[in-house]
């Protein structure tokens, strides 16, 4: 598959980042050099690599390594986000709602233009339940017309063709009329390709554009081409102002560099990817999914996201100070518990931490039940009691038990547990400063 070797290199590099503390210029240097080499080796455009590294470095230095995260994990997330950004951030979809929507397909010969025209026709028919029309505009290659006719038959989609004797301009004019008469929703024009860009081809495409007034001009590029696709895209874009790119043959063995560079260099969004020769081997292009695929380590990325989402630095600092001064009360414990709960089921969080041993006796249901019990007991206490549980006498315990509908033993258990964890907090030199919670198993 495309990106395989880049993926392997990036992963093994990022796994090497270990240790504690913040990310600094010195602890990142070797790793940034490795990432740089990995990208260059994958044939990513030099300028793109330079900017990628600079931006990763800028974001990483001084990045908050919050919660129980490790610098390596935070770095994985930063590299992931930079990849998503490089690939265009958001999904860019083709809008098929206008009637008719006209799509002009352009690209070099062999890039997969005709095949992709068929794939899009199939998508429109099956997924969007619309009536497409395929237009055979490549008049220089007789085989191209035949190929499209065959695809049309396979898909049961009409193909407008006039062989190779009429001009592309005339064919497109005829096709527009045909579509109006036959109620076609989407017109997909397959145009001529060459092995290299040349002026007469560009002129013909510009004429076709003038007549068809396409809503989309999709440039089909072969991801196996490498860096040269960036130049091809830039030339097509300059002449035709393309609205999107389709990356084909991502199922092949490309190093991926061209695919990674094209968005950044041309600022044209990638709209579809081709992942095989079959007519359903087409997908929308999702920058985040592609970054996940390149980087792997999706579990680390979502762990970091979750921790960063719920991490409330001010609250935690407050809790930490209280702990250090011995003023940590049951209400603080409740707050911390709520923070932890926002992360989702505990077993899920643990599973996301690479290298975390599985804990067979950790059961979400019982943990959740215990948390709820603790919550209801604390809610039955007065503010005073929560802040200083040492004032809770037997009569107070009885009142609390009545209030939350638990027995006295449950109240005692919680108070004992709280006392124990308070003791432990004092003793722990390497306390988990970030969450303020005793470490798991404590």
Annotated binding site for GTP: 107-114, 190-194, 248-251
Q: How far is the CB of 112 from ligand GDP (least distance, A)?
A: 3
Sheet holding 159-160, edge to edge: 159-160, 132-137, 186-191, 101-106, 216-222, 244-248, 270-274, 282-284
Q: How far is the CB of 296 from ligand GDP (least distance, A)?
A: 22
264 is an interface residue for ligand GDP by CB under 6 A: no
Q: Could you say whether residue 191 binds ligand GDP (CB under 6 A)?
A: no
- Least distance CB 321 / ligand GDP (angstroms): 58
Q: What is the C-alpha separation between 382 and 403, in angstroms, rounded?
A: 11
Q: Which of 100, 107, 258, 329 binds ligand GDP (CB under 6 A)?
A: 107
Q: In terms of CB distance, is 118 or 389 closer to ligand GDP?
A: 118
The least distance separating ligand GDP from the CB of residue 281, rounded to whole angstroms, comes to 6
* Residue 112 binds to ligand GDP (criterion: CB under 6 A): yes
Residue 279, CA distances (Å) to 1, 114, 189, 219, 408 in order: 19, 11, 17, 18, 68
For ligand GDP, the binding residue among 67, 193, 256, 258 (CB under 6 A) is 193
Residue 309, judged by CB atoms within 10 A of its CB (0-12, 13-18, 19+), counts as exposed
> Which residue, 192 or 297, has its beta carbon nearer to ligand GDP?
192
Stretch that binds ligand GDP, among 25-33, 272-280, 296-304, 429-437 (CB under 6 A): 272-280
Nearest approach in angstroms of CB 278 to ligand GDP is 9
- Residue 66 and residue 433: Cα distance in Å, rounded? 10
Which among 181-189, 229-237, 276-284, 384-392 is the span making contact with ligand GDP, rule CB under 6 A? 276-284
Residue 149 within binding range of ligand GDP, rule CB under 6 A: no
Q: DSSP H helical segments within 69-141, as ranges?
A: 71-86, 113-126
User: Shortest Cβ distance from residue 273 to ligand GDP (Å)?
Assistant: 8
| DSSP letter, residue 389 | G
Rounded Cα–Cα distance for residues 408 and 348 (Å): 33
392 φ/ψ sector (left φ>0, alpha ψ -120 to 50, else beta): beta
Asked whether the beta carbons of 214 and 100 are under 8 A apart, the reply is no
Is 271 near ligand GDP (CB under 6 A)?
no
Residue 66 phi, psi dihedral angles, 5° rounding:
-90, 170
Nearer to ligand GDP, 82 or 161 (CB): 161
| Closest CB to ligand GDP among residues 283, 288 | 283
Minimum Å gap between C-beta 147 and ligand GDP is 6
Return the residue nearest ligand GDP (CB atom).
Answer: 274
Q: Which is nearer to ligand GDP, 188 or 381 (CB)?
A: 188
Q: How far is the CB of 291 from ligand GDP (least distance, A)?
A: 20
Among 112-120, 121-129, 152-160, 318-326, the segment contacting ligand GDP (CB under 6 A) = 112-120
Site for ligand GDP in 242-261 (CB under 6 A): 248-249, 251-252
Helix axes 228-240, 257-266, angle to 10 degrees: 30
- Asked if 168 and 199 touch (Cβ cutoff 8 Å), the reply is no
- Mark the segment that binds ligand GDP (CB under 6 A) among 84-92, 105-113, 305-313, 316-324: 105-113
The 58-97 contact track toward ligand GDP, x by CB under 6 A, reads: ----------------------------------------
Q: Which of 70, 113, 263, 386 binds ligand GDP (CB under 6 A)?
A: 113
Joined together, the tokens standing for residue 312 give 């409330």
Which pairing describes strands 270-274 and 282-284: parallel, antiparallel, or unpaired? antiparallel
The residue behind tokens 């979750």 is 306
> What is the residue-wise DSSP string for 227-253?
THHHHHHHHHHHHH---EEEEE-TTS-
Rounded to the nearest 5 percent, the helix, strand and coil shares of the chain are: 55, 10, 35
Nearer Cβ to ligand GDP, position 68 or 115?
A: 115
Q: Does 225 bind ligand GDP (CB under 6 A)?
A: no
The two three-digit tokens of residue 58, written as one number: 């800028």
Listed residue (249, 291, 222, 250) closest to 79, CA to CA = 291
Task: Decide: is 110 part of the binding site for ligand GDP (CB under 6 A).
Answer: yes
Q: What residues contact residue 144 under an 8 Å CB cut-off, 6+ apart? A: 114, 136, 138, 190, 192
Q: Site for ligand GDP (CB under 6 A): which residue of 174, 276, 345, 438?
A: 276
Q: Which residue from 323, 339, 322, 338 is spatially nearest to 422, judged by alpha carbons?
A: 323
Nearer to ligand GDP, 276 or 354 (CB): 276
Distance of closest approach, residue 249 Cβ to ligand GDP, in angstroms: 4
Q: Which residues bind ligand GDP (CB under 6 A)?
A: 107, 109-115, 193, 220, 248-249, 251-252, 274-277, 281
């Amino acid at each position: 598959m495309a990106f395989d070797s880049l993926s392997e290199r990036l992963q093994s590099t990022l796994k090497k980042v270990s240790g504690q503390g913040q990310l600094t210029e010195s602890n990142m240097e070797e790793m940034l050099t490795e990432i740089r080499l990995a990208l260059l080796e994958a044939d990513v455009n030099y300028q793109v690599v330079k900017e990628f590294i600079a931006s990763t470095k800028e974001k990483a230095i001084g990045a908050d390594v919050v919660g129980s995260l490790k610098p390596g994990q935070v770095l994985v997330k930063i590299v992931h986000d930079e990849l998503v950004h490089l690939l265009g951030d958001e999904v860019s979809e083709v809008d098929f709602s206008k009637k008719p929507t006209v799509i002009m397909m352009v690209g070099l010969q062999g890039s997969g233009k005709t095949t992709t025209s068929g794939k899009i026709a199939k998508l429109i028919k099956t997924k969007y339940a619309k009536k497409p029309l395929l237009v055979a505009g490549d008049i220089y290659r007789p085989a191209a017309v035949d190929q499209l006719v065959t695809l049309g038959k396979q898909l049961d989609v009409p193909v407008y063709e006039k062989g190779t004797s009429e001009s592309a301009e005339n064919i497109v004019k005829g096709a527009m009329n045909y579509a109006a008469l036959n109620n076609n929703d989407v017109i997909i024009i397959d145009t001529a390709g060459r092995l290299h860009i040349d002026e007469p081809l560009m002129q013909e495409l510009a004429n076709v554009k003038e007549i068809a007034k396409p809503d989309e001009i999709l440039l089909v590029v072969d991801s196996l081409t490498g860096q040269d696709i960036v130049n091809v895209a830039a030339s097509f874009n300059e002449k035709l102002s393309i609205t999107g790119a389709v990356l084909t043959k991502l199922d092949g063995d490309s190093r991926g560099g061209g695919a990674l560079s094209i968005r950044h260099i041309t600022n044209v969004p990638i709209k579809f990817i081709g992942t095989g020769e079959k007519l359903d081997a087409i997908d929308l292009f999702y920058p985040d999914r592609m970054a996940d695929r390149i980087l792997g380590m999706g579990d680390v990325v979502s762990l970091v996201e979750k921790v960063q989402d719920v991490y409330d630095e001010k609250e935690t600092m407050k809790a930490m100070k209280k702990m250090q001064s011995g003023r940590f009360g049951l209400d603080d414990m409740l707050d911390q518990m709520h923070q932890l709960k926002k992360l989702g089921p505990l077993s899920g969080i643990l599973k996301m931490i690479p290298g975390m041993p599985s804990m067979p006796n950790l059961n979400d249901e019982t943990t959740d039940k215990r948390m709820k019990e603790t919550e209801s007991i604390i809610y039955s206490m007065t503010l005073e009691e929560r802040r200083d549980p040492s004032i809770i006498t037997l009569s107070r315990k009885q009142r609390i038990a009545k209030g939350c509908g638990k027995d006295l033993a449950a109240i005692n258990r919680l108070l004992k547990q709280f006392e124990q964890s308070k003791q432990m907090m004092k003793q722990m030199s390497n306390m988990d400063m970030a969450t303020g919670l005793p470490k798991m198993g404590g």
